[in-house]
A = this chain, B = another copy of it.
Amino acid sequence: MPQNIAVIPGDGIGPEVVAEGLKALKATVGADAFDFTHYDLGAERWQRTGEVLPDSVLAELARADALILGAVGAAPGSKAIPSGLLERGLLLKLRFAFDHYVNLRPSTLYPGITTPLSDAVVARGPIDFVVVREGTEGLYCGVGGSMQTGTPFEVANEVSVNTARGVERVIRDAFERAMRRRKKVTLVHKHNVLVNAGGLWNRIFGAVAEEYPDVTTDYLHVDATMIMLVQDPQRFDVIVTDNLFGDIVTDLAAAVTGGIGLAASANINPTGEFPSMFEPVHGSAPDIAGQGIADPTATISSMALLLDHLGRRDDAARIDAAVDADIAARGSEKRSTSEVGDAIAARVSA
């Protein structure tokens, strides 16, 4: 029986890149391996109906075997849609409702890819690491509020909530991944200032590390991590960090490895209780939407993460190989979104 994949193309360039992701996916597994159900969610739906994510849709999505998300969100300065409405009501809602506690973001600098880093930094060696970002807690939990709002006396609070269970399960996942890689885990936090949350992360990191004597461990403050990511990204194998630091670290990681156009991500519920969700790291990029110029590579690579998650290791490897080959063959010539998708799909089928 075909597995069910729920597809949420979303806003801006979301639908454009998702179309190419599906093209690559079908080229890999055939047209009938999956049933795809498209869900019309995002800015347009909200503006039309006032609905962000109706409970009935959430219940349907929960029955899917996996989710593909393009991107949601209006332009940062937009007055049409309240800031955060779609991000919190749809993207984060799904991450939280489906307990996606592992937000996995691999970063590899492929040969031939333009990077903003100097030749001297690149020459230090291959850049290949993965960030395991916690996805269900921290400052993303939505706890907080404001009082006397709009007055000169307003106080606005945001609360980062961290639980031992939440921290332990994501740290454990990071160590498991490290065992299948170069066996090094770096904890990124700011425990010299955030002593409560940092203390918790630190203690659990230390305790889990004892169970993995083969794994080398390392700690960096988030500010120092910024420096290392541009001066010595080779030092990283697996980074584990909280939700907000992970957001910041992975955009910089994407930038130094050739840009957000290449950065894939998976929002994983490792227990399988809920479907996992696969999406590019980039946003809806309203400034270039509708022009057919968005790079779909990140979405296509996210399809490899999806196949891997569904146990189709070989199929995942075929997409990865096709993406690698396409990237290696890329010149300076600009291709349209669908040209990139066609090229990768052709390589997969070849």
Contact = CB atoms under 8 A, between A and B. Distances in A.
Interface of A: 73, 76-77, 83-84, 87-88, 92, 114-121, 139-140, 144-146, 148-165, 168, 190-200, 202-203, 219-224, 226-227, 230-231, 244, 247-248, 250-252, 254-256, 259-260
Contacts of A88: 192-193, 195
Contact of A156 (B157, B158, B197, B230): B197
Contacts of A139: 160, 193-194
Given A76-B221, A83-B192, 12 more contacts: A76-B219, A77-B219, A116-B121, A117-B230, A118-B118, A144-B197, A156-B197, A157-B197, A158-B196, A190-B247, A222-B247, A227-B255
B116 A119 contact: no
A252 B231 contact: no
A165 B152 contact: yes
Contact of A84 (B92, B140, B193, B226): B193
A147 to B, nearest CB: 10
A42 B73 CA distance: 47
Nearest to A228: B255
A220 B76 CA distance: 8
A189 to B, nearest CB: 10
A160 B158 contact: yes
A161 B157 contact: yes
A156 B203 CA distance: 12
B155 A116 contact: no
A157 B116 contact: no
B146 A199 contact: yes
B255 A197 contact: no
A153 B219 CA distance: 24
B116 A196 contact: no
Contact of A193 (B140, B152, B250): B140
Given A158-B160, A192-B87, A231 B248 contact: no
Contact of A198 (B83, B92, B251): B83
Contacts of A199: 83, 146, 149, 156
A251 B231 contact: no
- Which of A219, A220, A221 has the most CB atoms of chain B within a 10 A radius of its CB? A221
18 contacts: A73-B192, A83-B198, A87-B192, A88-B195, A144-B194, A146-B200, A156-B161, A156-B199, A157-B161, A157-B197, A158-B197, A222-B247, A222-B248, A223-B247, A224-B251, A226-B248, A227-B259, A248-B248
Contacts of A194: 139, 144, 158
